[in-house]
């Protein structure tokens, strides 16, 4: 039975829905600390809602789409979605690819999307959001469409235009389907803790290496 938000059903291991996402080993805190101003969430949501049927088919080939739009880095991310993801993950990735492709097919955003973080943004829709909220709902439910737009912008390294960091993060976390489910929120907190430990270890190793170099 779906929960009150109409999201994906909960199983015995709800955190397992995010296994593919956690396997990417991405650090959300680090992303929040380095954002450029991007288009508004409303602009991205409107463009998301204009996705053509070819990007919404159950038979969509995300690897072929990525090859048409991006370089080999993003294509490699699409390959991981195709190999490890569910059909819903593939649809989520396809909608992310549509946002990039639409810059030529429809027209540019007021602020360009970032190609350097294209793979990360596509993976966030495919592995973080799609397992919890059916991609079809991103097109029919305004709150879930806003969630998808904000998820995409964050992982593309962009701050929604017209919002500061505090406002953008508050709205994002209010919309976030991960944080709205207790077991998933705990899994996310555990992952964030692991990322913090890894970051501190990396900083300590870098400081140690610098000290050794200074004494040589």
pLDDT, tens digit, for every residue of 24-59? 999 999 999 999 999 999 999 999 999 998 888 888
Task: Classify residue 203 by burial, with Cβ atoms within 10 Å: 0-12, 13-18, 19+.
Answer: exposed
Does any domain span residue 201?
Answer: no
> What is the residue-averaged pLDDT of the chain?
85
Does any domain span residue 196?
Answer: no
Whole-structure pTM over 0.85, yes or no?
no
Does any domain span residue 16?
Answer: no
Give the number of domains in the chain.
Answer: 1
| Mean local confidence (pLDDT), 165-179 | 95
Does any domain span residue 149?
Answer: yes
Going 8 to 147 to 97 to 17, the CA torsion angle's sign is negative
Does any domain span residue 216?
Answer: no
Does any domain span residue 3?
Answer: no
Does any domain span residue 2?
Answer: no
Domain that holds residue 90: 21-180
Tens digit of each residue's pLDDT (9 = 90 or more) over 88-139: 999 999 999 999 999 999 999 999 999 999 999 999 999 999 999 999 999 9
| Mean local confidence (pLDDT), 141-164 | 97
Q: Which of 57, 123, 118 is nearest to 91 (CA)?
A: 57
Residue 162 CA to residue 77 CA, distance in Å, equals 30
Longest dimension (CA), the chain: 64
Does any domain span residue 112?
Answer: yes
């Amino acid at each position: 039975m779906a929960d009150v938000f109409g999201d994906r059903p909960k199983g015995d291991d709800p955190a397992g829905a995010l296994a593919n996402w956690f396997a990417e080993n991405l650090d959300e805190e680090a992303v929040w600390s380095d954002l450029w101003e991007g288009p508004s969430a409303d602009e991205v949501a409107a463009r998301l809602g204009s996705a053509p049927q070819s990007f919404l088919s159950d038979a969509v080939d995300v690897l072929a789409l990525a090859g048409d739009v991006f370089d080999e880095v993003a294509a490699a991310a699409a390959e991981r979605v195709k190999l490890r993801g569910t059909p819903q993950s593939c649809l989520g990735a396809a909608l992310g690819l549509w946002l990039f492709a639409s810059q030529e097919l429809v027209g540019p955003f007021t602020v360009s999307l970032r190609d350097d973080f294209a793979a990360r943004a596509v993976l966030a829709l495919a592995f973080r959001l799609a397992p919890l909220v059916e991609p079809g709902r991103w097109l029919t439910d305004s709150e879930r469409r806003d969630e998808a737009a904000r998820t995409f912008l964050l992982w593309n390294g962009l701050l929604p235009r017209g919002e500061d960091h505090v406002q953008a993060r508050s709205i994002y976390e209010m919309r976030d389907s991960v944080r709205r489910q207790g077991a998933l929120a705990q899994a996310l907190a555990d992952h964030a803790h692991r990322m913090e430990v890894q970051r501190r270890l990396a900083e300590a190793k870098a400081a140690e290496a610098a000290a050794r170099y200074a004494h040589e």
